[in-house]
Amino acid sequence: MTPWPAESIWEQIFPLLPDFTVEVLPELDSSNSELMRRARAGHLESTLLVVERQTAGRGRLGRVWQSQPGDSLTFSLSLSLAPQDWSGLSLAVGLSLAESLHPDVQLKWPNDLWFEDRKLGGILVEAASMGGRSQVVVGVGLNIRPRLADGLSTPPACLSELRPELTAPSCLARVASPLIQALLRFESQGFAPLQAAFEARDTLKGRQVHTSDGQQGLAMGVGPNGALRIQTDGLVHDIVSSEISVRPFSSGGSL
């Protein structure tokens, strides 16, 4: 297997984050769970944790994300951030990943990467507050090779469809440093400067959508705070809660 680019990523990030470390573990329950445990215990170092096989990986809304060595890339980042506004953080993460991966990768509000109306990857953002500081943990899962549909009507997408040469380590080398730099920019600038770039990849914009809490309407893109805008009966409503799932009517799969 291709070696993990831990040292080269550390060399790129160390000048920005002197306490930065990179860890690669063969197996763990969940990279996000591990970094949240550390944060709650007061360990607030900036950490990139890569796990080759997750036995209890977690997605948004409590969904399970299983990973096997080589089939997917799963990692989490733990950083101390203090932005004026946290709104749109997961969108900023998704945009950074999409821009690093391929021009055809699209974004589905608020936490998914899509390709041809199929899920390519997911993002889970969590935070722990300790002593007045906020430690944010950003978990990323990307499909490298084809995965089973796991009961879904539409099989997930995978990066091998877009970049057949990519392995999990080479994908990490492509996305890690830009993602960390994007998070640091978000801390100082927020989501608003990214609004147009996100909308250029927004797979929902201009489509009829329905939500997990019963709303229906036309997706109108996102606001400067990252809220999803849906037009219903001539009125535009902003959806800000990441606990609400959204799906286009023309796509298969479930919420």
Residue numbers annotated as active site: 60, 119, 247
CA distance 35 to 140: 13
From the list 239, 165, 241, 163, the residue with the least C-alpha distance to 204 is 239
